């Protein structure tokens, strides 16, 4: 009877515990991170009796989590990518609104500025038309600089988010290390049995950590999990942690990178961080915000170069060559804080057409300068030695070296971003608007031939030959000479062969070295010997609108990308690139969300609590418990019958 009772009692105890596990599943059906628990029953060792084995009942062998490591790993990987793409998309939407929206008005401001020159051309003497040109110039400069300022503010917000995210990562790793300690202790105390609830809590923290940064894990024999980041830097080893930190960028201290550890052992691991919110924030800085700011700066530099260049070859109402309308800041160079040499680089943007939207890293090694593009890491060409006579040239920027660099010293060159931040109007006097052409040409009244001279054009307003009156005199119908009124005596150049319609260019001056360019004219027709034509500065051209008309055409004239892309097209391309990147980010984020949803469903299919299933289990364990109790009652009846028989 004792064996029957013990067997039945073992069933009562096992089924009671099974009911408790089922009840725990039901009550935690909606608890985030909870994994359904499964009771594993094991029969007791039977006893041999009269040549046969009689069972001794049942024990609860273990209570395990319904858990699939592959599905969990898939979910963590997917969550990391989703966190990265969500962070990228959130910032990309803001950049798209700044650049492509109507609030900054750069596109409309560009159109309004060049239209104001067209209006001025209709009446170049109008003071109000001239003031309108200056007002539109101011509005355009403000639109560009304010948009650049908003991008800088967005950069600052990203720095704040990076700091917050790093703090959250450190809090999570500290909690994981604490749970590691508790789990290892619990496993030891329970003889290897797994503390399911603690494991669920740790998995929840690991899932949260994966959404912030890409991590890899390794499970120890005591149940602890080690967590690694970047190139294998250990964030958690059993119950010990190493924290991440934010560190100033080694080139630009206003930007933040990611450090691992502290003190002299600290490593900067920014380049190896990927995935999660942190990876997305770092990625959007280098792949979208910096190129957008650089692209805006290239527009600003191109605008200033083109407009100021055209202004310089026209005459204003004061009878002078035009002074610059726009001013922009120069390129920026940031030395690496770890440089050991005493060198510095002074940049000057020398070719707007060669400017790109890239920043560059320059490195000095073994007496040679090399450079790579920051966004792609691809090598780019560097020419020159860095001297004044032979400066380093990269991406449209010349750099003059001062001091002596040490081997492995490096510098970051940002050719255009500063131009977007600093563009402003430098001309305040409406009379200073150079609407008139710089040249005045005329044919002598005594000319006997039918040749005519064009209005002429100027290639460089800084050329001293512009202010030197000149006369073209035909020595024969097919040859001519040019006389310039230089001091102390006139300079005669030629003779030159005449071809009708061919360009005639100002010869070099006898004074200071002439800047390449000067004036050019075309003479068309048949001249006779002695015919002459005059070329000189247009100091009295108050009603002349030639330069205003030329200025109005600059909106579509090629200036960027080697002189093949105009300002409006360049800005439209910038807006298009930002819009494309944002749209791609939106598509990628939506697709990744679907992947995460599927991974979450796969985990739920294994680990989630099904209330219908648990209700069936409860009925099963309840019936088994009742049956075991019936066995106990039956055994008791048999025992009482036996006792009664013995008494008789």
At 200, phi and psi to the nearest 5?
A: -65, -45
At 328 the pLDDT is 96
Name the band, by pLDDT with cuts 50, 70 and 90, for residue 643.
Answer: confident
- Asked whether the predicted pLDDT for residue 646 surpasses 90, the reply is no
Lowest mean pLDDT among 144-153, 175-184, 357-366, 508-517: 508-517
Which residue reads 């109000």 in tokens?
Answer: 128
**Partners of 520 in the β-ladder:** 457, 505
Across the range 343-364, mean pLDDT stands at 94
CA–CA distance, 516 with 493 (Å, rounded to integer) = 17
Identify which has the larger pLDDT, 196 or 510. 196
At 648 the pLDDT is 55
Measured N-to-C along each axis, helices 106-122 and 567-607 cross at an angle, to the nearest 10 degrees, of: 170
CA–CA distance, 276 with 78 (Å, rounded to integer) = 9
At 508 the pLDDT is 66
At 428 the pLDDT is 94
Q: Is 277 exposed, middle or buried (0-12, 13-18, 19+ CB in 10 A)?
A: buried
Both structure tokens of 634: 């039956």
- Asked whether the predicted pLDDT for residue 104 surpasses 70, the reply is no
pLDDT tens-digit profile of 367-386?
Answer: 899 999 998 889 999 999 99
pLDDT tens-digit profile of 581-603?
Answer: 999 999 999 999 999 999 999 99
Name the band, by pLDDT with cuts 50, 70 and 90, for residue 334.
Answer: very high
Both structure tokens of 351: 């070719």
The terminus-to-terminus CA distance of the chain in angstroms comes to 19
DSSP 8-state symbol, 320: S
Residue 443 host element (H or E):
strand 439-443
- Asked whether the predicted pLDDT for residue 642 surpasses 90, the reply is no
Contact yes or no for 442/523 (Cβ under 8 A) = no
Q: Which are the contacts of 26, defined by CB distance < 8 A and separation ≥ 6? A: 609, 611, 614, 615, 618
Which residue reads 């080139």 in tokens?
Answer: 251
- Asked whether the predicted pLDDT for residue 2 surpasses 60, the reply is no
441: nearest Cα among 369, 558, 525, 520: 520
At 465 the pLDDT is 65
Count Cα neighbours of 409 within 13 Å in the Cβ-side half-sphere: 19
Identify which has the larger pLDDT, 1 or 322. 322
On average, the pLDDT of the chain sits at 91
CA–CA distance, 14 with 232 (Å, rounded to integer) = 45
pLDDT tens-digit profile of 483-495?
Answer: 988 777 788 888 9
CA–CA distance, 491 with 440 (Å, rounded to integer) = 20
Residue 353 host element (H or E):
none
Lowest mean pLDDT among 17-26, 43-52, 153-162, 212-221: 43-52
DSSP 136-165: HHHHHHHHHHHHHHHHHHHHHHHHHHHHHH
At 647 the pLDDT is 74
At 102 the pLDDT is 63
Contact yes or no for 17/39 (Cβ under 8 A) = yes
- Asked whether the predicted pLDDT for residue 76 surpasses 70, the reply is yes
Coil, strand or helix: which one is 635? helix
- For residue 214, the tally of other CB atoms under 10 A from its CB is 24
In the sheet with 397-402, reading across from the earlier edge strand, the strands are 344-349, 397-402, 392-394
Across the range 85-94, mean pLDDT stands at 96
Across the range 506-519, mean pLDDT stands at 56
DSSP 8-state symbol, 273: -
CA 490 to chain centre: 60
- Asked whether the predicted pLDDT for residue 509 surpasses 60, the reply is no
At 103 the pLDDT is 56
Q: Return the percentage of the chain with pLDDT > 70, whole number.
A: 95
Helix/strand/coil (H, E, C) string of 366-421?
CCEEEEEECCCCCEECCECCCCCCCCEEECCEEEEEECCCCCCCEEEEECCHHHHH
- For residue 628, the tally of other CB atoms under 10 A from its CB is 22
83: left (phi over 0), alpha (psi -120 to 50) or beta: alpha
CA–CA distance, 114 with 449 (Å, rounded to integer) = 40
| Of 93-107, 164-178, 299-313, highest mean pLDDT | 164-178
At 514 the pLDDT is 42
Residue 564 host element (H or E):
none
At 516 the pLDDT is 46
CA–CA distance, 553 with 158 (Å, rounded to integer) = 40
Across the range 215-238, mean pLDDT stands at 95
- Asked whether the predicted pLDDT for residue 458 surpasses 70, the reply is yes
E strand segments, 485-634: 491-497, 503-505, 519-524, 532-537
Across the range 277-291, mean pLDDT stands at 95
pLDDT tens-digit profile of 392-432?
Answer: 999 999 999 999 999 999 999 999 999 999 999 999 999 99
Q: Return the percentage of the chain with pLDDT > 90, whole number.
A: 78
Question: Do β-strands 344-349 and 332-335 pair in parallel, antiparallel, or remain unpaired?
Answer: unpaired
Name the band, by pLDDT with cuts 50, 70 and 90, for residue 636.
Answer: confident
């Amino acid at each position: 009877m004792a064996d029957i009772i013990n067997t039945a009692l073992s069933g009562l105890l096992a089924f009671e515990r099974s009911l408790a596990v089922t009840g725990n599943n039901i009550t935690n059906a909606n608890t985030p991170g909870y994994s359904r628990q499964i009771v594993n029953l094991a029969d007791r060792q039977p006893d041999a009796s009269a040549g046969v084995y009689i069972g001794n009942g049942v024990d609860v062998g273990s209570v395990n989590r319904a858990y699939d490591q592959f599905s969990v790993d898939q979910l963590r990987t997917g969550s990391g990518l989703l966190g990265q793409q969500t962070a990228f998309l959130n910032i990309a939407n803001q950049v798209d609104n700044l650049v492509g929206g109507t609030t900054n008005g750069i596109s409309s401001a560009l159109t309004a500025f060049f239209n104001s020159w067209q209006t001025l051309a209709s009446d170049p003497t109008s003071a109000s038309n001239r003031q309108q040109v200056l007002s539109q110039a101011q509005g355009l400069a403000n639109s560009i600089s304010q948009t650049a300022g908003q991008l800088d503010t967005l950069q600052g917000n990203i720095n704040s988010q990076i700091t917050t995210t790093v703090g959250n990562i450190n809090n999570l790793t500290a909690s994981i290390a604490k749970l590691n300690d508790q789990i290892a202790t619990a496993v030891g105390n329970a003889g290897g049995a797994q503390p399911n609830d603690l494991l669920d809590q740790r998995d929840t923290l690991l899932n949260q950590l994966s959404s912030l940064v890409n991590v890899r894990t390794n499970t120890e024999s005591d149940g602890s999990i080690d967590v690694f980041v970047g190139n294998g830097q250990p964030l958690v080893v059993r119950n010990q942690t190493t924290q991440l930190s934010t560190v100033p960028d080694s080139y630009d201290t206003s930007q933040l990178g990611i450090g691992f550890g502290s003190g002299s052992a600290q490593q900067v691991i920014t380049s190896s961080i990927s995935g999660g919110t942190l990876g997305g924030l770092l990625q959007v800085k280098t792949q979208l915000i910096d190129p957008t700011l650089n692209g805006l700066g290239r527009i600003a530099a191109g605008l200033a170069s083109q407009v100021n260049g055209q202004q310089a070859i026209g005459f204003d109402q004061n009878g002078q060559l035009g002074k610059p309308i726009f001013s922009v800041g120069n390129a920026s160079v940031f030395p690496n804080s770890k440089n050991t040499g005493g060198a510095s680089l002074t940049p000057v943007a020398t070719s707007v057409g060669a400017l790109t939207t890239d920043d560059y890293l320059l490195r000095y090694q073994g007496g040679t300068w090399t450079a790579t593009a920051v966004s792609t890491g691809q090598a780019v060409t560097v020419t020159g030695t860095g001297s004044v006579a032979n400066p380093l040239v990269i991406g449209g920027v010349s750099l003059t070296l001062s001091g002596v660099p040490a081997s492995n010293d490096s510098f970051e060159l940002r050719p255009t971003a500063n131009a977007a931040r600093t563009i402003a109007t430098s001309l305040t006097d409406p009379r200073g608007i150079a609407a008139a052409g710089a040249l005045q040409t005329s044919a002598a009244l005594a000319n006997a031939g039918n040749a005519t001279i064009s209005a002429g054009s100027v290639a460089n307003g800084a050329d001293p030959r512009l202010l030197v009156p000149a006369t073209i005199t035909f020595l024969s119908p097919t040859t001519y000479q040019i006389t310039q009124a230089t001091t102390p005596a006139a300079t005669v150049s030629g003779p030159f062969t005449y071809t009708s319609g061919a360009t005639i260019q100002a010869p070099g001056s006898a004074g200071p070295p002439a800047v390449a360019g000067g004036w050019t004219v075309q003479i068309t027709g048949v001249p006779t010997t002695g015919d002459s034509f005059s070329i000189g500065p247009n100091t009295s051209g108050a009603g002349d609108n030639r330069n205003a008309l030329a200025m109005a055409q600059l909106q579509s004239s090629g200036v960027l990308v080697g002189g093949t892309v105009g300002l409006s097209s360049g800005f439209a391309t910038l807006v298009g690139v930002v819009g494309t990147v944002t749209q791609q980010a939106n598509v990628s984020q939506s697709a990744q969300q679907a992947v995460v949803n599927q991974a979450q469903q796969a985990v739920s299919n294994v680990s989630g609590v099904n209330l219908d299933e648990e209700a069936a289990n409860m009925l099963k364990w309840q019936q088994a418990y009742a049956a075991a109790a019936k066995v106990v009652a039956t055994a008791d009846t048999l025992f009482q019958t036996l006792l009664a028989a013995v008494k008789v």
